[in-house]
């Protein structure tokens, strides 16, 4: 792709240019050149949404990426059909960011656009019909049947009809044959109608007619008139309660939402009567879906150590773009963010605060809302298309100078970012797996900030090795906060040996005496307990005690998890489920046993051990509906749950003062993930979940259950010795060539047939060996899960020297190689997935 950034490319208005390169949401590695019709010339600008014909039939929404005067060599440029915006939806910095992302993450700019632009801002195209202007019923040689006539009649009143309209008119479901016949009879034409998917929310509002609102006597007269009509009177009173027109007549102008006015069972017909009698009038208004909340409090004054950290951060920003704030859990990082955000938005710049997915629904957002109120936009992954468009537009219009969001909020149309904060920067969920672009939101956000000449603050109690090593090399500024806010102290750790304890335990429960004692102590003192186990369901294995059979997914190479509540075996990779068999499908034995503990089973076993305790569970299964998560948190906050069992959902961002005990059910499971990052991840995960304990007055205790308590990772966690752990691990990373010492690229070859996948993966290796740069290529090896949804997964790992030049040589060659391989007949349906900086 040519450079986008020649100065002439960013001319705001197009003067004499005849062509535009359009970014289209298709996985093809380039932009597409279209002709600018003379009628549109004066309006053309970079970043406008346009519609163009793509291929024979499709009409697509695109973004103008560049304007120029070079006609395409290979084809005749088609004209741009229309412009959709008065002002650009996307600014030049965003386009620059998209180009960078496509380049860095080995994907196509169209894929980035597809991810970046809310689908509400793309068009939906729908087939519609209209009367053929050449059609004359008098002279037509084809007679029409009754149904066809009905459609034509309808077209006399309405210029166009959708297929759905036609179905309604005729009251039938199969409309296509009739439409086909009408087309054949030259009576109608079909056309593609393209329209915005976004639709604004329209509210009906009610207000007093101005004459009455401004005249007390008139209002008095109305009251007299409704005497003895309690329904009308109640509506009137309700209205005046919400809108006190006597004191503030100007409030009437805005009116009251009709749904609010009628919410307590008031009758619609009484309101209608009041409108008919000239008391009220109704009007329509476009409203924000995202409610306005007023700020409630000022930022807290910082403690002296917070203030020192704040000053240090600002000091580093004088010379460095990025600063790492390494602050233990509960040290008050959020309050430091608040002060920084306030300064930056007061100076007129924008701020983006990234949070991991799940933390976004928790307390931290509430805390920020209290301070920033309606200036703050929240960009949530559970938002509807329409809501996303409103956040997008709120950023464009300046309504939200500050946005808190999940990883995709880096695509919002910021034009003057001053600060980007990435909280919990070590979080693996910042990386997008599927689909492309497979970006890491932290790394991409640092780049985004760079394009804006903005500062970046990374915050974590357990920094990623990447960030920590950047800080220790001086590339990032480094600021540390090593104690908790106020009088709170860091929790005390205990290791509980599962193998030693379990022998003595007749119940064969996977819990140690130590954990049980600590839970009991907490309960006795009315304190709360969190139990962490990263496995949902009841038990991860169903096994036949006679022949050893285990339940496996039919589409993936994983064992099925037993879910007791649903009485089902489920695959956590593809969602496959089956009813639990009563006997072994291989040998017929009825001796089936459940092995391993999921959250569901832990909850059950704790409720047997502590019958007086109130238990709660937080995992994917209990939080599927929109408010499930919040409801459990509210109950926990209100003290209605004594012991909360949960997956990694309970490790992030929770700030509850009464939690004294945190139990880590299976510490070994956390360590055993087969990946070079497993140690780092274990350190992070355990430290984070432990950090939920003892955040205020009560002292925190953390019990880690393990069969191998002598593992040195535990020792470092217990000592809280991040640095020592970092040093040890980094020696290994260096020795075995792993990040951050090298650049890692993972290529997964996928196919339904194992042999084909294997052949294709080997062919890839053969070709990659010829790329003339220094590299280490590992594999191909079966993925951690060798088969997912019937697709075999073979993984190749490429280690490159960390240099932009090396990476681009590799990228160019790899792109070519994959294209060539895809042209090989045997490999047509093989998929290659390239993941840069895989997790
Ligand atoms: P972190 O984000 O580092 O885990 P938090 O910002 O959540 O820490 O702070 C921990 C607790 O201390 C929170 O309840 C927070 O409201 C409180 N806190 C932190 N700083 C202050 C301050 N300056 N004044 C009052 N309360 C504070
Ligand atoms: Zn069996
Ligand atoms: Zn499966």
| Predicted pLDDT of residue 746 | 95
Output the residue whose Cα is nearest ligand 1's atom 6.
332
Cβ count near 169 (within 10 Å): 17
| Predicted pLDDT of residue 98 | 96
**Structural tokens at position 56:** 């024979």
- For residue 559, report the distance from its CA to the centre of ligand 3, in Å: 8
| Predicted pLDDT of residue 826 | 94
Dist CA 818 CA 791 (whole Å): 19
DSSP state of 737: T
Dist CA 728 CA 679 (whole Å): 11
| Predicted pLDDT of residue 13 | 46
| Predicted pLDDT of residue 359 | 61
- For residue 412, report the distance from its CA to the centre of ligand 1, in Å: 29
10 Å CB burial of residue 473 (0-12, 13-18, 19+) is: exposed
> How many C-alpha atoms does 658 have within 13 Å on its Cβ side?
16
Name the pLDDT band for 673 (thresholds 50, 70, 90).
Answer: low
For residue 441, give every residue at least 6 positions away whose Cβ sits within 8 Å of its Cβ, in sequence order, or none.
Answer: 354, 406, 407, 408, 410, 422, 430, 431, 432
Closest ligand by atom to 552 CA: 3
Taking the CA of residue 328 as reference, the ligand 1 atom at the shortest distance is 3
Phi, psi of 536 (to 5 degrees): -90, 175
Mean pLDDT of 171-189: 91
10 Å CB burial of residue 580 (0-12, 13-18, 19+) is: middle
10 Å CB burial of residue 476 (0-12, 13-18, 19+) is: buried
Name the pLDDT band for 664 (thresholds 50, 70, 90).
Answer: very high
- For residue 783, report the distance from its CA to the centre of ligand 3, in Å: 14
Dist CA 539 CA 322 (whole Å): 44
Dist CA 425 CA 446 (whole Å): 11
Dist CA 572 CA 568 (whole Å): 12
**Structural tokens at position 767:** 């070709």
Cα three-residue angle 627-409-296, rounded to 5 degrees:
60
Closest ligand by atom to 571 CA: 3
Output the residue whose Cα is nearest ligand 1's atom 25.
300
Model confidence at 290: pLDDT above 80: no
Model confidence at 502: pLDDT above 70: no
> How many C-alpha atoms does 311 have within 13 Å on its Cβ side?
7
Q: Is the predicted ipTM greater than 0.85, yes or no?
A: yes
Output the residue whose Cα is nearest ligand 1's atom 4.
330
In a 3-state reduction of DSSP, which class is residue 636? Answer: helix
Name the pLDDT band for 360 (thresholds 50, 70, 90).
Answer: low
What's the gap between Cα 497 and its chain centre?
A: 38
| Predicted pLDDT of residue 418 | 98
Q: Comparing 112-126, 370-384, 609-623, which segment has the lowest mean pLDDT?
A: 112-126
Model confidence at 244: pLDDT above 60: yes
| Predicted pLDDT of residue 600 | 93
- For residue 591, report the distance from its CA to the centre of ligand 2, in Å: 8
Name the pLDDT band for 75 (thresholds 50, 70, 90).
Answer: confident
Taking the CA of residue 481 as reference, the ligand 1 atom at the shortest distance is 3
10 Å CB burial of residue 75 (0-12, 13-18, 19+) is: exposed
Share above pLDDT 70 across residues of the chain, in percent, rounded to a whole number:
95
Dist CA 686 CA 329 (whole Å): 12
Dist CA 699 CA 678 (whole Å): 29
What's the gap between Cα 668 and its chain centre?
A: 30
Dist CA 716 CA 2 (whole Å): 50
- For residue 700, report the distance from its CA to the centre of ligand 1, in Å: 16
Name the pLDDT band for 507 (thresholds 50, 70, 90).
Answer: very low
Dist CA 73 CA 90 (whole Å): 28
Dist CA 533 CA 597 (whole Å): 8
Residues, the chain: 839
Phi, psi of 585 (to 5 degrees): -70, -15
Q: Comparing 339-343, 443-447, 565-569, which segment has the lowest mean pLDDT?
A: 565-569
Model confidence at 597: pLDDT above 90: no
Closest ligand by atom to 423 CA: 1
**pLDDT digits 0-9 by tens, 542-552:** 888 888 888 88
Give one DSSP letter per residue of 419-479, joined into a string.
Answer: EEEEETTT-GGGB--SSS---BHHHHHHHHHHHTT-EEEEEESS--HHHHHHHHTTSSEEE
- For residue 24, report the distance from its CA to the centre of ligand 2, in Å: 55
In a 3-state reduction of DSSP, which class is residue 812? Answer: helix
Model confidence at 3: pLDDT above 50: no
User: Are the beta carbons of 568 and 580 closer than 8 angstroms?
Assistant: yes
**pLDDT digits 0-9 by tens, 328-346:** 888 999 999 999 999 999 9
Taking the CA of residue 301 as reference, the ligand 1 atom at the shortest distance is 23
Output the residue whose Cα is nearest ligand 1's atom 24.
300
CB-based burial, 583-619: b 16+ in 10 Å, e otherwise: ebeeeeeeebebebbbbbbbbbbbeebbeebebbbbb
In angstroms, how far is the first alpha carbon of the chain from the final one?
A: 28
Output the residue whose Cα is nearest ligand 1's atom 10.
330
**Structural tokens at position 273:** 């009567």
**pLDDT digits 0-9 by tens, 151-171:** 999 998 888 898 888 999 998
**Structural tokens at position 730:** 């980094």
- For residue 603, report the distance from its CA to the centre of ligand 2, in Å: 28
For residue 258, give every residue at least 6 positions away whose Cβ sits within 8 Å of its Cβ, in sequence order, or none.
Answer: 203, 204, 205, 206, 271, 282
Q: Position of tokens 């509506």?
A: 235
Model confidence at 368: pLDDT above 90: yes
| Predicted pLDDT of residue 265 | 67
User: Are the beta carbons of 59 and 53 closer than 8 angstroms?
Assistant: yes
Closest ligand by atom to 543 CA: 2
User: Are the beta carbons of 700 and 690 closer than 8 angstroms?
Assistant: yes
Dist CA 407 CA 448 (whole Å): 12
Output the residue whose Cα is nearest ligand 1's atom 26.
300
Dist CA 317 CA 312 (whole Å): 9
Q: Which residues fall inside 5 Å of ion ligand 2, going by CB?
A: 544, 546-547, 549, 584, 586-587, 589
Give one DSSP letter per residue of 198-231, joined into a string.
Answer: ---EEEEEEEE-HHHHT-HHHHHHHHHHHTT-HH
Residues having CB within 6 Å of any atom of ligand 1: 300, 302-303, 306, 327, 329-335, 485, 655
| Predicted pLDDT of residue 382 | 77
User: Are the beta carbons of 589 and 545 closer than 8 angstroms?
Assistant: yes
* Reported pTM: 0.82
> How many C-alpha atoms does 266 have within 13 Å on its Cβ side?
24
Residue 771: left (phi > 0), alpha (psi -120 to 50), or beta?
beta
| Predicted pLDDT of residue 266 | 66
Is 574 annotated to bind ligand?
A: yes
Dist CA 515 CA 441 (whole Å): 37
Output the residue whose Cα is nearest ligand 1's atom 20.
332
Model confidence at 814: pLDDT above 90: yes
- For residue 330, report the distance from its CA to the centre of ligand 1, in Å: 6
Question: Where are the alpha helices (H) located in 227-378, listed in sequence order?
Answer: 230-242, 258-261, 268-276, 304-317, 333-346, 363-372
Is 107 annotated to bind ligand?
A: no
- For residue 541, report the distance from its CA to the centre of ligand 2, in Å: 14
For residue 310, give every residue at least 6 positions away whose Cβ sits within 8 Å of its Cβ, in sequence order, or none.
Answer: 302, 336, 339, 340
Model confidence at 415: pLDDT above 90: yes
**Structural tokens at position 119:** 């689908």
Mean pLDDT of the chain: 88
**pLDDT digits 0-9 by tens, 317-332:** 999 999 999 998 889 9
Q: Position of tokens 């920590």?
A: 468
Q: What is the four-CA torsion angle of 219, 221, 222, 224, rounded to 10 degrees? A: 130
Q: Position of tokens 């087309």?
A: 183
| Predicted pLDDT of residue 719 | 85
Output the residue whose Cα is nearest ligand 1's atom 23.
302
Name the pLDDT band for 8 (thresholds 50, 70, 90).
Answer: very low
Mean pLDDT of 20-46: 91
**pLDDT digits 0-9 by tens, 103-143:** 999 999 999 999 999 888 877 667 889 999 888 888 888 88
Model confidence at 12: pLDDT above 80: no
Mean pLDDT of 46-57: 87
Is 166 annotated to bind ligand?
A: no
| Predicted pLDDT of residue 509 | 55
Angstrom distances, CA of residue 792 to CA of 111, 147, 557, 561: 24, 52, 9, 21
For residue 792, give every residue at least 6 positions away whose Cβ sits within 8 Å of its Cβ, in sequence order, or none.
Answer: 750, 751, 752, 753, 754, 757, 758, 782, 786
Phi, psi of 373 (to 5 degrees): 50, -130
Taking the CA of residue 367 as reference, the ligand 1 atom at the shortest distance is 16
In a 3-state reduction of DSSP, which class is residue 833? Answer: strand
């Amino acid at each position: 792709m040519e450079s986008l950034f020649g100065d002439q490319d960013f001319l705001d208005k197009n003067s004499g240019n005849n062509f535009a390169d359009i970014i289209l949401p298709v996985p093809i590695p380039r932009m597409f050149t279209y002709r600018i019709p003379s009628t549109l010339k004066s309006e053309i600008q970079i970043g406008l949404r346009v519609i163009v014909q793509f291929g024979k039939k499709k009409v697509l929404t695109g973004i103008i990426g560049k304007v120029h005067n070079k006609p395409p060599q290979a084809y005749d440029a088609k004209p741009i059909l229309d412009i959709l915006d008065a002002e650009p939806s996307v600014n030049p910095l965003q386009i620059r960011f998209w180009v960078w992302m496509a380049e860095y993450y080995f994907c196509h700019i169209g894929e980035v656009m597809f991810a970046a632009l809310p689908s509400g801002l793309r068009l939906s195209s729908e087939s519609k019909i209209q009367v053929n202007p050449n059609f004359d019923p008098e002279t037509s040689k084809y007679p029409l049947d009754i149904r066809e006539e009905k459609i034509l009649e309808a077209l006399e009143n309405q210029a166009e009809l959708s297929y759905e309209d036609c179905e309604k008119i005729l009251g039938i479901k199969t409309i296509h044959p009739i439409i086909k016949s009408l087309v054949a009879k030259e009576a109608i034409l079909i056309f593609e109608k393209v329209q915005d998917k976004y639709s604004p929310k329209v509210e009906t509002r009610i207000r007093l007619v101005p004459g009455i609102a401004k005249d007390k006597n008139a209002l008095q007269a109305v009251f007299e008139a409704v005497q003895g009509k309690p329904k009308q009177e109640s509506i009137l009173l309700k209205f005046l309660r919400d809108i006190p027109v006597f004191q503030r007549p100007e409030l009437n102008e805005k009116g009251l939402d009709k749904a609010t006015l009628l919410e307590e069972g008031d009758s619609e017909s009484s309101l209608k009567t009041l409108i008919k009698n000239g008391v009220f009038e109704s009007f329509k208004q476009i409203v924000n879906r995202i409610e306005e909340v007023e700020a409630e409090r000022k930022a807290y004054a910082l403690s002296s150590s917070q203030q020192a950290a704040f000053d240090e951060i600002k000091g580093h920003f004088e010379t460095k773009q990025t600063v790492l704030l390494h602050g233990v859990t509960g040290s008050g990082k959020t309050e430091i963010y608040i002060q920084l955000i306030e300064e930056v938005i007061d100076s007129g710049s924008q701020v983006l605060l990234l949070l991991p997915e799940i933390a976004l629904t928790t307390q931290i957002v509430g805390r920020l809302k209290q301070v920033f109120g309606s200036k703050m936009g929240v960009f949530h992954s559970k938002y509807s298309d329409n809501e996303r468009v409103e956040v997008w537009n709120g950023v464009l219009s300046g309504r939200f100078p500050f946005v808190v969001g999940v990883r995709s909020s880096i695509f919002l149309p910021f034009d003057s970012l001053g600060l980007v904060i990435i909280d919990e920067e070590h979080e693996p969920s910042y990386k997008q797996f599927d689909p492309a672009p497979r970006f890491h939101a932290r790394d991409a956000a640092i780049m985004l900030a760079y394009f804006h000449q903005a500062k970046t603050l990374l915050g974590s109690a357990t920094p990623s090795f990447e960030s920590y090593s950047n800080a220790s090399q001086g590339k990032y500024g480094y600021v540390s906060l090593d104690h908790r806010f106020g009088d709170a102290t860091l929790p005390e750790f205990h290791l509980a040996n599962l193998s030693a304890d379990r022998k003595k335990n007749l119940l064969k429960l996977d819990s140690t005496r130590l954990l049980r004692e600590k839970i009991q102590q907490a309960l006795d003192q009315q304190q709360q307990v969190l139990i962490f186990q990263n496995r949902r369901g009841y038990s991860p294995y169903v096994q036949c005690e006679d022949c050893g059979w285990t339940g496996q997914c039919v589409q993936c190479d994983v064992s099925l998890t037993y879910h007791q509540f649903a009485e089902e075996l489920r695959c956590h990779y593809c969602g496959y489920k089956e009813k639990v068999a009563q006997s072994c499908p291989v040998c017929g034995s009825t001796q089936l046993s459940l092995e391993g503990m999921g959250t569901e089973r832990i909850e059950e076993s704790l409720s047997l051990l502590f019958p007086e305790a109130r238990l709660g569970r937080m995992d994917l299964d209990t939080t599927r509906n929109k408010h499930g998560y919040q409801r459990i948190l509210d109950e926990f906050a209100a003290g209605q749950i004594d012991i909360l069992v949960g997956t990694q959902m309970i490790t992030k961002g929770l700030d509850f003062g009464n939690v004294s005990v945190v139990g880590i059910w299976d510490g070994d499971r956390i360590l055993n993930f087969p990946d070079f990052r497993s140690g780092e991840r274990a350190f992070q995960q355990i430290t984070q979940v432990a950090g939920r304990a003892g955040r205020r007055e009560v002292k925190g205790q953390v019990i880690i259950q393990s069969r191998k308590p002598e593992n040195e990772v535990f020792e470092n966690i217990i000592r809280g010795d991040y640095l020592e752990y970092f040093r040890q691990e980094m020696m290994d990373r260096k020795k075995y060539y792993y990040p951050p010492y090298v650049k890692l690229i993972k290529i997964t070859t996928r196919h339904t047939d194992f042999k084909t996948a294997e052949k294709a993966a080997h062919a890839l290796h053969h070709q990659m060996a010829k790329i003339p740069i220094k590299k280490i290529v590992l594999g191909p090896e079966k993925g951690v899960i060798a088969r997912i949804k019937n697709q075999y997964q073979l993984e190749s790992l490429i280690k490159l020297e960390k240099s932009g030049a090396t990476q681009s040589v590799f990228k160019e060659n790899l792109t070519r190689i994959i294209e060539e391989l895809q042209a090989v007949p045997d490999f047509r349906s093989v998929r290659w997935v390239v993941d840069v900086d895989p997790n």
